[in-house]
């Protein structure tokens, strides 16, 4: 992935409602009606947040009847973990001469 794709995924996490949605989805697939009830937000607000989460690849969806059902994407979960490692890991030996780290 490039910077643009990485930023899209990171930005999807940068909102308290979206973090709450992801936390709710950790226990499994949820219908939009359940998310609306749990979060106490409007349908249009939920739609906005779900679009960003789905477009980033962090969340998957399927339509069942008249409702959308959402779940955490296993590939999206792996991708965000890889992104965090990519930008925050310190390669071995980088701090070997650093007096602060010893």
- For residue range 8-66, what is the model confidence (pLDDT) as tens digits? 999 999 999 999 999 999 999 999 999 999 999 999 999 999 999 999 999 999 999 99
- What's the pTM value of the predicted model, to 2 decimals? 0.85
Range of the domain at 78: 3-85
Closest C-alpha to 70, from 78, 79, 59: 59
Q: What is the pLDDT, as a whole number, of residue 22?
A: 98
The pLDDT of 60-85, averaged and rounded, is 96
Asked if the structure places residue 73 within a domain, the reply is yes
Residue 85: in which H helix or E strand, if any?
A: helix 74-88
Number of domains within the chain: 1
Asked if the structure places residue 43 within a domain, the reply is yes
Asked if the structure places residue 20 within a domain, the reply is yes
Q: What is the pLDDT, as a whole number, of residue 87?
A: 94
Q: What is the pLDDT, as a whole number, of residue 90?
A: 84
For the cut 70, the answer to whether the pLDDT of residue 100 exceeds it is: no
CATH of residue 21's domain is 1.10.10.10
* Residue 65: both structure tokens together: 């009847």
Asked if the structure places residue 12 within a domain, the reply is yes
Asked if the structure places residue 46 within a domain, the reply is yes
Asked if the structure places residue 96 within a domain, the reply is no
């Amino acid at each position: 992935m490039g910077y643009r794709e990485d930023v899209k995924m990171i930005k999807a996490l940068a909102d308290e409602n979206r973090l709450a949605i992801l936390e709710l989805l950790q226990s499994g697939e949820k219908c939009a009606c359940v998310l609306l009830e749990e979060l106490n937000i409007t349908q249009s607000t939920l739609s906005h947040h779900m679009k960003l989460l789905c477009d980033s690849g962090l969340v998957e969806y399927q339509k069942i009847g008249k409702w959308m059902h959402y779940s955490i994407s296993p590939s999206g979960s792996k991708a965000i973990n890889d992104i965090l490692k990519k930008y925050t890991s310190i390669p071995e030996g980088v701090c070997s001469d650093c007096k602060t780290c010893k």
